[in-house]
Structure 1
Amino acid sequence: MTAHSGLRLLPWAGPGGKPCYLNTDDPEGFMSRLADHIESIQLGMASQLLEQAAPALDDETANGEELRLLAAQLAGALRDVLGVATSRGHCHPEGLETDADFGL
């Protein structure tokens, strides 16, 4: 569930790329479980991509096109991970948390 509206941000976009939300009190319902499953896949893919990124960035023979593809894949994975964090209430949808959010 999101932190401020009681709605859960779903890990897919709606018409026109707009965010989709789920309003339910049943975390075990079909849509909640489907969203959980997709989020799990997204997090797993981000983890695998991160493992591949370090060696690719250390490879002095990597060409610009390969690195641009890696950057695009990392950006997509980061977008997905931020969506999961927002959905689970660990991140403000408007942007990054402030020091005050951490009691600093």
Structure 2
Amino acid sequence: MTRNNELRLLPWSGPDGKPCFLSTDDTNGYVSRLADNTEAIQLGLAAELLKHASEDLSKGEADPEELRALATDLTAALRDTLRVAESRGHRLPLPSPDAHGNDTEGPMLPAAAFG
């Protein structure tokens, strides 16, 4: 069962910084597709920024102003990534009532695997 009737958190904020939401059952509508594309761009930019930050920080020499700019960019990317994660998490299907039952289907790990 999915949560189709819930509002979708969009990957951008309103002019006053408050979250924006979409109410629709059409996951293929214009705003839904725009949000999907925006999320993909945000995640791609975050991955590129993380790679760039890792490379810069591994050099060991960084100007304080460059570090401040990097921290600002990483903060914005993390904020966007968390918003995407929250939005996608709310759109995951709900587990079926028997998903946590006593069935033995699926992989089983020995108790030793848990320490």
What TM-score does the superposition give when structure 1 sets the normalisation length? 0.78
- The answer to whether structure 1 residue 25 and structure 2 residue 25 are counterparts is yes
Deviation per residue, 1:32-77 (Å, 9 max, x gap): 0000000000000000001101111122221111111111111110
What stretches of structure 1 move > 6 A for 4+ residues in a row? none
Q: Which residue number corresponds to residue 88 of structure 1?
A: 88
Aligned residue for 1:88, secondary structure, equals helix
Higher helix share: 1
Aligned residue for 1:21, secondary structure, equals strand
- 1:17-96 equivalent positions in 2, closer than 5 A: 17-89=17-89
Pair member with larger Rg: 2
Uncovered stretches (5+) of structure 2, i.e. residues with no partner: 91-115
Larger RCO, structure (CA 8 Å, separation 6 or more): 2
CA deviation after TM superposition for structure 1 residue 89, in Å: 1.4
Paired positions, count = 87
Identical residues among aligned pairs (%): 59
Give the RMSD, CA atoms, in angstroms. Answer: 1.5
What TM-score does the superposition give when structure 2 sets the normalisation length? 0.71
